[in-house]
Each structure stands twice: as structure tokens, then as C-alpha cells.
Structure 1
């Protein structure tokens, strides 16, 4: 049985380690993406105004964005959970255009003034995010990295199974400093691996879930969203859209304990050609991630449907911030970064131990060879 788990552990580890090192290295700065984007000028702070300054109508915000980029249309309106005085309007030439090419107009909600224009594909954080998410390969890249996540979880589980039998003669945390360098590396490898096991399982599992987000979105579009918009399936987009301010007020009246986070304009991927989709969320760290769409008829301003999204979509909403430690503010991000660096050491140590074992494989006895098969992630004790 040990030989079986050793074989699983070794091969799953070797296949995915290189890609996991890339994910850990790119993921480390992404943990602090808000802070880094702010420092680099890719996030905007509104100018100081007296506390309690009221917001202007969203219709005025819309007018400011359309005047800033004449000839274009609004696809989405987003509200920053941490900065309620800012609205970000994503614009493109048509409602159906690829959002990756959008321009993002940052507007002060208190004055209606345009603060800055940003592009979807600008900045070093965007480069790192694309590398981390899909290696610039789109859906195939996502699915490939998702498969690497599955192998990573398999390596962790098999390593945990092997850890007990191979460490039963040593106290927890033992590092045999008087032994050869390979043995010292092995002991550190074991200690880091078992200490970070829970974190690596969480990050590996949420990474796999996040890799499926495009497929999950398409499933929601073909299922619940199609059901919600079925009566309007063959209706054209209205020539004139009703008030966005009134649409948001209608959505808030239907869900008074929730706050609008994103508004999808008619014709975009998150709604129909006839509806504003106002996505609302709660105010706790968890419920703030769980969105509930309210569909507002874009011609009449009437509410046509409001329902919670399916569990599989909510799973993605929970997994995405958890993957980057974006739940508990800066302290949790620092903890996530420390575990990320520990995982980099774990992966690098595993590669070193495997290389040493390969060089010395001809000199080992049968027993040593069997034991050495577990040395890719959590390792063994000798």
C-alpha cells in the first residue's frame, strides 16, 4: 500500500511542480493586488469632500461617462465595496464587444466628475493575473491549470497519507542538523509540508474551482438566466433605456438589506437584451461576495425577477477571494503571503530532493528506493 501511495505522490508531484511554482510566484504579488494597483496609480481615490456629501443621480454619472467617450455604450457599472464614493463604468463600441477591451471610466459619485480612465489590459498586475489565471491561453489555459490543481491536491493527499508511517520514529518538527545536507533538506521539507497542508489544500481546491468559472458562467447563462429572461427572448433592445437611478431604486426596494455591486446593461453577457441586471450583495465579509441578480425591464423600469444564484455559482464567488486571502484585510493577506512563500520553498525543496534521489538511485538498496519514492512534496524521514 505504501508503494501505491508513493507512486501517486511522486508522479503527481513531478507533473505539476513546475506550473505550481509559476502559480506561487505570480500569486504572491496578486495577494496584494489592491495595494499594488493603488501604489502604481491604477486605482483612484476620490478627492476629499465634507463627510456625508450626497451622491448625485446615477443618470448624471451615466451622462458623464457617455460624454467622456462619445459614440460608445456602457456595458457595466461597478461600485467599489471599499470606496462607496466611486463608480466605475466599463465602456466599449457595442454591448456585445469583448469586455477584455473595455475602457473603465472612474467617476466621483458625489460630483459626477470623471476622475480617470483605465484600460482592462494595462499594468503589471494585469499581466501577472493573466499569467496566473490562464497563461494568456484563454479557456484551454484555465482548464490546463485546473488539471494541475487536481494533481496538486492528489499529491498533497498522498503525501499526508505517507507522512505518518515515514515519520513515526521522529518527533514532530525534528530537523536533524548533524546529518547530511540531503537529510536536513528532507526534514525541513517534511515540516513545511505538514505545517502548510491545510492552506495548500484550500488554495489548490479554490484554484481548481476558479479555473472552471467560465464554464460555470455559461451553465448559469444557459440555465437560470435563460429561464429568468425567457418571456423577452425574441424582443429587441429598447431604443431608449429607462432611468438607471430608478432601476437601482427598484432593485433595492425588492432587497432592502442588500447593496448594488454591479449593473449589467441590456445586451451584455450577464443579462438579456431587455434588462438591466442589478447584482446585489450583503454587507458581511461572506455575504458581500454572494450576488443576487434583480432583472429590471430596461424600457419600463419594472422588476421582472429576483432570485439567488445557484449554489455552483455562489461557490465560485466564495472561492475567488479565498484563493487570494481577500477576506480579512491586510493581516490575512500577510498570512497568505507567508504560506505562499513556504509553498515555494516546499516545491523547490521537493525538486531538489527528487534530483538528488535520481543521482543516487543506483547506489540505494531496495528498501531505500521504496522510501525515496515519497520525496516530492511532503517527503519521508530517514
Structure 2
């Protein structure tokens, strides 16, 4: 064997080890992110259905074609004068309600709570409310973004993105040349389930490799963003703060003509499609209008116009089209990760392709179990890999369902506590097992070397 061929063989073995062990030890995490991500791309659509059919909150068309919500907002401010924040979410289309996302102190609860108040934007009346943190939409996002683990779950998800990238790249390096020599798709005709799963594993892994790599890298960036920005000294774009000009209490009670706000937005930023309106509560006497520009692939509601409450004159404008490459790159990550720029068809494609990484985790685990049985000469339990995989899969689904039920019917805080305990216990167990296994293998290797 030539030196070059020997090096290539050595590299292939290294790639195989990386692919094997990274996939094995992070497979459950990748599977969870795959499943929750495939559902999370539809969060706005799912939430709108829930609002309409569970809360029976809908809106009639506005006679003027402009959402009407001023009277409802005024009534909420009078009802909760000590509110700490308010954001008005405008409807995307007729029939949808406007939402007032308000942080208040309910009389029957301790501490501040975020509530969504649903507003009929045609008749300007409140038609429902909910605890925002206990909503299904919040559960789906929090589970996918941070696994409901508040301390460092987001970073764990980022590491899962790196693991998926490693698995995708090593899979290409291992199987790329092999797959090029075959007609696509090539599935061997056999009843051997290990071979069937291996063929599908390679086929879907190579076919969805580009997509999974994009999802992995954007997910890694979004998850590890707090650490990376601190290490690389990157400043968050679009963080303008208007100067304080009055007392906070006076600011909160200052009258706002919301139709004049929308008219001023149309004049000062014609291309902006306003979606979020946030009046200040800190004394800056300003209104922040956030929204989108048609045809742009960026994070939702990142284009910004800040106007004064008195006179509705512009204070600050942020048009992402006019920003540097660094700003554009920063704000394109979430849109690309969730497919939030091309309508329902693109989201459906994202969901289907996103599930492939979950299938690769399951199929890779099944292949590992079959190979381990074959290596041990275990022919008495041919279905054991399926049983083991089924048990693990059901435990993961049970975890997701239990956390969802706790979050929806008991509370977000309690759900986060349970999820944090489960995740940290499992992580500590996995690390301990890996260390013990490493020590045992090392000692066994030294003992065998001493014998020889």
C-alpha cells in the first residue's frame, strides 16, 4: 500500500469514528431538534388556528382597511396602569385579530405575567386573552430553541448544531465517493434490515446533506450566539435607545393616536409593512414600529422606525437593505434556519427535509445496534434493536408531551424546572458513562499491551 493510500485509509477511519461517536452520543438531541424544528416552522400558522378555534377570537374586516385597536389599548392601559411593557402585534390578513402583548401584574397572582389580549381589529374590541408563556406557540419555540432549560439550554442546542454539521460532513467524506459510483437512488434488494437501514441512511444522508448542513450551521450560530458574540466582541445590530425626556409614569399614560402613527410610518418608511408597535414605558416618549419589507430574506420585524409620541416625527430609522454585510448576515440566520421567507410551500419543504436528520439519528442507532449484535454473535434476539429504538423514541416523545402538558396547564416555570432536571441529569449521566467507558477501554488496552 502506498503512503498516500495509507493516509487516505487512516483519514477514512478517523472520519468514521467521528461520524459514529458524534452521531451516537448526540443522536437523541439531534432527533429532538429535528422533530421540534419541523413543527416550529409552522408556529405562526398553528398559533393562529389555536387563537381562532380554541379561544374563539376572530376579527371582522376594518371598514377603512386599516386595523382599529386604539380604544382597546386605552382600556387595557386604564385597567393595568402599572404595566411594564406593551407591544401591539398587527394582523397579517383579514379575519385575524390584533394582539396586545402586555406584561402586567394580575390581581390574583404574584409577580409580572405576560398576557396576550386578542383585539377585533374591525370593531376595536377585546375578544379574548391568554397567558403568553403558557401558550403552545411559546412551548414549541422554547423547546426547539433551548429545550426548556433556561440556564444554558440554548448553548446545548448550538452544540447540537455543531454535532449535526460534523455528522453531515463526515458522512459525505465517508460515503461520497461510494455513492457517486452508484445510480441514484440505489437500494439493495435484501431482507436484511441492517442493510436496508444502511442504504436508506446513506441515501437520505447524502440527499439532504446540503440542507442539514445549512440548518446545522445556522442553528449552531443561533444557539451559541451569546458566547460567540462575547468571545468575538461582536455588537448586536439595531439596538437604538431613544433618550429619556420625561418621567416614566407620564410616558406610560401619554395619549397616542395610533392611526396617526401608522400614517406617519407610511410617510417616513413607505416600504415597511408594520407588524409590531411598541410604545415606550421608560420616559423616552417614543414609539418603536417594527416590520418587514416585501421580498426580503431577513429575520422577522427587524426593520425599524422610532417616532416621537408628540408630533409623530421620526427619531431613528433602520432599513436592513442599507446596512453593512455584517448586519445583513446577522439578521439572515433565523430566516434561513426556519424557512420564514417563502410561504407555506417552502415551510412544508423545510419540515420534510428537517425530519431527515431525525430519521438519520434513528437509523444510525438501529444500524449500530445491529452491528453490535452481529459482532457479539447475538442471533437469539434479532428484533432487539427495534425494541431498544422504540423504547428510546417513546421516552423522548413522552418527555416532549409531559413538558408540553405541564407548560400549557400548570405553568411555564414548572415545566422549565422539570425539563431542566431531566436534561441535566441525563447529561451528567452521559458524561459520567463516557468517562468511565474511556477509562475502561484505556486500561484494557494497556493490559493487553503488557501481556504482549
CA distance in structure 1 between the partners assigned to 2:112 and 2:330 by the alignment: 20
Which piece of structure 1 moves more, 15-24 or 33-42? 33-42
Q: 1:172 to 1:340 in 2, by over 3 A?
A: same
Matched, 1:257 2:271: yes
Local SS of the residue matching 1:121 = helix
Aligned CA-pair RMSD: 3.6
Local SS of the residue matching 2:345 = helix
TM-score by length of 1: 0.77
The structural deviation recorded for 1:143 is 0.9
CA distance in structure 2 between the partners assigned to 1:200 and 1:212 by the alignment: 18
Local SS of the residue matching 2:18 = helix
Matched, 1:72 2:83: yes
Matched, 1:19 2:33: no
Unaligned runs of 5+ in 1: 364-382
Local SS of the residue matching 1:239 = helix
Q: 1:105 to 1:195 in 2, by over 3 A?
A: same
What do the CA deviations read for 1:293-319 (whole angstroms, capped 9, x no partner)? 222234554322212356556546543
Q: Residue in 2 aligned with 1:164?
A: 176
Q: Residue in 2 aligned with 1:186?
A: 198
Matched, 1:118 2:135: no
Local SS of the residue matching 1:81 = coil
Local SS of the residue matching 1:284 = coil
Local SS of the residue matching 1:225 = coil
Matched, 1:308 2:328: no
CA distance in structure 1 between the partners assigned to 2:67 and 2:371 by the alignment: 67
Local SS of the residue matching 1:128 = helix
Local SS of the residue matching 1:263 = strand
CA distance in structure 2 between the partners assigned to 1:361 and 1:204 by the alignment: 32
CA distance in structure 1 between the partners assigned to 2:227 and 2:123 by the alignment: 40
Matched, 1:32 2:42: yes
Local SS of the residue matching 2:118 = strand
Q: Residue in 2 aligned with 1:323?
A: 337
The structural deviation recorded for 1:53 is 4.0
Q: Give 1 or 2 for the bigger CA radius of gyration.
A: 2
- Contact 1:196/1:339 (<8 A) preserved: yes
Size of the alignment, in residue pairs?
A: 352
Matched, 1:345 2:359: yes
The structural deviation recorded for 1:285 is 5.9
Q: Residue in 2 aligned with 1:62?
A: 73
Q: Residue in 1 aligned with 2:114?
A: 102
- Contact 2:298/2:328 (<8 A) preserved: no
Q: Residue in 1 aligned with 2:407?
A: none
Q: Residue in 2 aligned with 1:366?
A: none
Of 256, 259, 262, which residue of structure 2 is paired with 1:243?
Answer: 256
Q: Which has the higher helix share?
A: 2
- For 1:147-158, what aligned pairs fall within 5 Å after superposition? 147-158=159-170
The structural deviation recorded for 1:60 is 2.7
Unaligned runs of 5+ in 2: 1-10, 106-110, 378-452
